[in-house]
Structure formats: C-alpha cells, structure tokens
Amino acid sequence: MTRKKKPLPLLEGIEITDVAAEGKALARVDGMAVFVPYAVPGDIVDLQVRRKKHSFMEADVARLVKPSPLRVEPFCKHFGVCGGCKWQCLPYEEQLRWKQKQVEDNLQRIGKVELPETSPIKGSQLTRGYRNKLEFGFSNRRWMTAEEMREKAEWQPGVGFHIPGAFDKILDIEECHLMDPVQDRLRNGVRAFALEHGISFFDLRAQNGVVRNMMVRTALPREDAPEGELMVVMQFCWQTPEEEGQAMQVMDYLKREFPEITSLMYVNNTKCNDTIGDLPVLLYAGRDHLIETMEGLRFKVGPKSFYQTNTLQAYELYKVAREFAFGEQLSTDNCQLPIVYDLYTGTGTIANFVAARARQVIGIEYVPEAIEDAKVNAALNGLTDKTLFYAGDMKDILTDDFIKEHGRPDVIITDPPRAGMHPDVVQVILNAAPERIVYVSCNPATQARDLQLMDEKYRVEKVQPVDMFPHTHHVENVVLLVRREK
C-alpha cells in the first residue's frame, strides 16, 4: 500500500527579506530558509511550499499580500513563466546593488581571503535589447497553462524558450525584450509560415519534425555596415526528400521576406540534442560570418563562434581586464613590454584586445575550432606577429618546457567557464609565477574557491564586478592578483 504524501503547507503573511542564489528571494520561517522565485525584498506574501527538506524549503508566491516599495511592474508579458529575466520586478539600481553584494558575499564566505574594497559595479549601457544572440526552439507541443489543461485544449505547436525543468515543453514566445525587435519578426514570421504550409514542428520526445531551432545573431552598426549585420541559422531535422524540400521552403521564405539578413545558413540535425558543434553548417545566402568591431579591431563571428552576448558591455569588461593587466604601463619599447598568457582564450578576443600593449600574447584553449577562429581574428587585425595560439589541455601545454620556449609570463589572464579552474591548472599558474593574474569570471562562487587556492602566493589587489545580463542574477567579476613578496 502506497503511503500518502503529507500535504505541503501554505505559509501566510511571510516577509521576503533578502536575495539568494540563482535569482531567488529569501524568507525565513521558524529559523528555516525559504527560497522563493519572482519575489522582492520587502514583499509580504502567502507562500505555497512545493518542496521541504530538513534545512530549507522552496515555495511559490500564492498571493501577494502587500508589495514591497521596491517592486516595479515587469515589462514582459511572459514574466514568471519564461524562466528568464527573473529580476524584472526589481528596479535596475537594486539589481546592481544585489549583484555587488553577491560578489562580495561569495569572495568573503567561500574565498576567505583578504580583500580590498570592491569597486562599484559597472552597470550595462542597455538594459533591454542588449543581447547579440538568441536561440529559439520549435515544438509540436507548446507549454500550456493549468487552465488550458483543465479545459483539455488541443495541443498546439510553439516557438520560444524551454520551460525550466521541463526539457520537452517550450513556451510560445510572442515578444522578447532581450534583443533587437528583428528577432520577434523572424521568429513569429517563421512560425506563421510553417503553420500555413503544414510544415511540422519538432517533436522533442519522438525526435522528428522538420523545423527544430532558430539562432539569431546581430552585429553592431559600423562605417561599412551602417545598418549592422544579421545572421540567421535554421536547424532542421529532415529524414526524407519531401521534408528536405519543406526545409528549403522555409529558407526561401527567409531570404525573400527578410532582405536585411546578411548571413543565412542552415543545418540538418538528426541527433538527440540541439548542439551543432560537430555538424556542418551550410550557407544559403550572404556570408558565413558577421564582423564585430572594438577599438578598431575586427572580429569574425561564425555560427559556432563564442562571442560575449552583450557587445557594448563586453567592451567595458575587456577594458577592465586590460587595465588590471598593464596598469599605467604605456611603454612603446617592445623589449620592455610584458609577455601575456591568455588562458581559456576562446576565439582570442581578449588576446587580440590586449596585444598592442604586450610583447607577445600566448593564447591557450581546449577547443581546436576556437583556436582556428583566434588565428583568423589575429590575421584580420594584423596581429599574427604579436600572438600565438595553442589548442589542448591547459595543464598539458603550460609546462616548464613551454615556458622556457616562449618566455615566462609577466601577466596571466584567465577566463574559465562557470565551473572555474581545475586544481591542476591552478597549480600550473602558480608554477609559472607571473607578476600579475587577471581572473575574469562569470561565476563568483567558483572564482572565490580558486582565489583561496592561490592565496599563499598571491594577494587580491582589485575587484571589479561588471553587469553583462540585466534582469538576471548573473554577474561577471574581474579580480587582479599580485604576487606576494618572497
């Protein structure tokens, strides 16, 4: 006989007091932490508990009893369901305050190292339309509300974002404020065209259906492209010549109705996931890349390239990294310029950006395709004599023999993924013993852990948070470490 689960409680008149990890708010009930999405410090709410553990609970707002003085009206009609932009109900100034606090708390609580005063966070120039890349999934069964389910509504196709925690449910998006409005016209146009012509949407469970995914990328306007540039990559899943013909109908529609597209491409993906790194991307019209510019430098961005998704704010981030790396160093004597190692260099954006102030920049990256892009970007900017790029595992490449061959680094810039650096890589950096380490991180928690590993030999000199993603809890942080005196 199955035991009945005890009903989870409704907590009434609870005050939200703080902001916690992952963009959730925090309340305390009888000394127990309660994590709540889409709430604001100062809200008085009734909470429906949906998960209860020994030391914490997770709950949803069942009723907003009294809104916080801080609360603002969310600007997006999909707020609360989409899963993105969870902080729309907070004024942007408050978002920045909490992000700064998040950085400081992580460095103090996890890092436990001596810290200087944190510089005020650099807010984003744009708080809407700031992204240069978005991806939308297609599903033959869009996510439906509880009311629609009760009414036994017919399943309808949808185009949009995956519902958090539900891999096979996609919220049908009508508008998104994260990117230039052209993405709304593209997404909604393809949806209407496919429905009108009976072209199937992807079935996430059965793994079939023609139209699967759409990626949209933009590049900022520049002198030789005053309207900017626009890339669209359609992802299909065709199994028969008839389905391939339907896919080409979609491509023809995009080429005909959106002449502003400068790079139109497609890929046939019959795998069980949406990744295309190992698949050929085919050019349908225009060029196979966009060009982004920064301080006169040009960067080639292809369909598989990594490029920071907030272009204007990436410039601010890179300026901080450069300032931390070189300080006030303005020497033009190449013999006196520092040698820089750029770890996790990706497509070499930072390496190219700092090369003018370095004698040599050595970029190292695990992904071979990214290193090829880095070399292309160096050639595009006439920096092949200033840069060298290597693909492979960091701890295998950055050996004593490698350092003897290329020179001991005066500066190491490291920009690892969210998981931070492997302890072996940290040890390699310590063995290299640069004067300065500039640590760029998208996850202050793992950054703090790594700072603790380096604390014996390096002290934290500067801390500069940078907001790349308004209305989310994500924050970038740049730390300058200086080698301690022996």
Q: How far apart are CA 130 and CA 100, in angstroms?
A: 20
Cβ within 8 Å of residue 259, ≥6 positions away: none
CA angle 416, 482, 440 (to 5 degrees): 20
Q: 263: which strand partners?
A: 231, 286
Helices (H) and strands (E) in the chain, counts: 11, 22
Helices (H), 258-304: none
Q: Is 335 a catalytic residue?
A: no
Q: Return the amino acid letter for 41.
A: P
Q: Which residue has the tokens 């931070």?
A: 420
Q: Which of 82, 176, 237, 442 is catalytic?
A: 442
Closest CA to 263 of 210, 326, 215, 296: 215
Burial level of 369, CB count in 10 A (0-12/13-18/19+)?
A: middle
DSSP state of 317: H
Count of CB atoms situated within 10 Å of the CB of 157: 21
Q: 170: which strand partners?
A: 142, 162
Residue numbers annotated as active site: 442
